[in-house]
Amino acid sequence: MLKFIVKRLLWMIPSLFAVSFLSFVLIQLPPGDYVTTYIATLAASNEIVDQNTAAQLRERFGLDDPMLVQYFKWIWGILTRGDFGISFEWQQPVSGLIWERMALTLLLAVASLLATWAIALPIGVFSAVRKYSIGDYFFTAFTFFGLSVPSFLLALVLMYVAAVEFGQDVGGLFSSEFETAPWSIAKMLDLLTHLWLPVAILAVSSTASLIRVMRANMLDELPKPYVTTARAKGLSEFRLLTKYPMRIALNPFISTIAWLLPNLISGSVVVAIVLNLPTAAPLLLQSLMAQDMYLAGAFVLLICALTLIGSLISDILLALIDPRIRLE
């Protein structure tokens, strides 16, 4: 198992290089560059930029270099100095823009993942064990509701309920007095009071889909002979379910970690904009629209790293839970 983990970690290195190059190329595929977007923005405000100024801006930002030269300068700065470059739009180091947002994004993603699992796992087992009961029909209706309602619409409804019915400050992850304050216990407690709303919204659709996955997996395992044998030997129903069919039914459940972590980050753009969350998704969208290639490339690279890490974690957990797939 240790050999497998080391091998996977080594394969992550060329994978990250390949994704970083492809993302860098794709970001620059649209016509023009950041200077073109910047000039268009100024033109909308009736400000004219002459060709000499545009050429000076391209030279200043290094946009007049060939694309391969730009990429190798960027990746070399990351490898040698941990420098992701300068954001064209913000005129700040990319590292200073992304780390706090990525930390808040990861916190939100992990909280949403834990909430999703805590709700989907017991409900999925219950729906399988009590198949076609009133409870099963109720949770089936809930899953269809969760899958069909757009996240942004649910966000608007919950914001209205929280603001009107409970008088809570909605929008963002902090109260106004803590937005620019240094980290402290009071700021962390304030974060927790605001975290429940985005977690609930992001967890609804994920929970709905995973309930169906868990229910289907359990229904596949419950009729099998080993379950009948264990029941005939006198095992209690709770111990029987947790020791045998649930462990096997968790396999597809755990494998979703590989895509669930990056999906919670990149797939929550609309929710983050509606709730005004200081997370990675809105800044990633803005950087892509402005063709701010270093900022967008850094976000894409980190999301790829999360995907690879999530895939590795899911493989390790699968090996721990199911002895049949452990490597000798």
Give the list of residues 6+ apart from residue 215 with CB closer than 8 angstroms, or none: 124, 127, 128
What is the residue-level pLDDT of the chain in tens, covering all 328 positions? 777 778 888 888 888 888 888 888 888 777 777 777 777 777 777 777 777 877 777 777 777 778 888 888 888 888 888 888 888 888 888 888 888 788 888 888 888 888 888 898 899 999 999 888 999 899 989 888 888 888 888 888 888 888 888 777 777 788 878 877 888 888 888 888 888 888 888 888 778 888 888 898 899 888 888 888 888 888 888 888 888 888 888 877 777 777 766 666 666 777 888 888 888 888 888 888 888 888 888 888 888 888 888 888 888 888 777 777 665 5
d(CA 200, CA 115): 8
d(CA 293, CA 67): 11
71-107 residue pLDDT tens: 888 888 888 888 888 888 888 888 888 887 888 888 8
Backbone angles phi, psi at 156, to 5 degrees: -65, -40
Q: How is residue 89 written in tokens?
A: 């739009």
Q: Is 275 exposed, middle or buried (0-12, 13-18, 19+ CB in 10 A)?
A: buried
For residue 280, CA distances in Å to 9, 80, 265 come to: 25, 24, 7
Residues of the chain with CATH 1.10.3720.10: 102-327
d(CA 263, CA 260): 5
The predicted structure's pLDDT at residue 237: 84
Domain 102-327 has CATH 1.10.3720.10: yes
153 contact partners, CB below 8 Å, separation of at least 6: none
Q: Which amino acid is at 292?
A: D
Residue 132, φ and ψ in degrees, nearest 5: 65, 20
C-alpha to C-alpha distance for 149 and 254, rounded to whole angstroms: 25
Please give the Cα distance from 75 to 293 (Å, whole number). 12
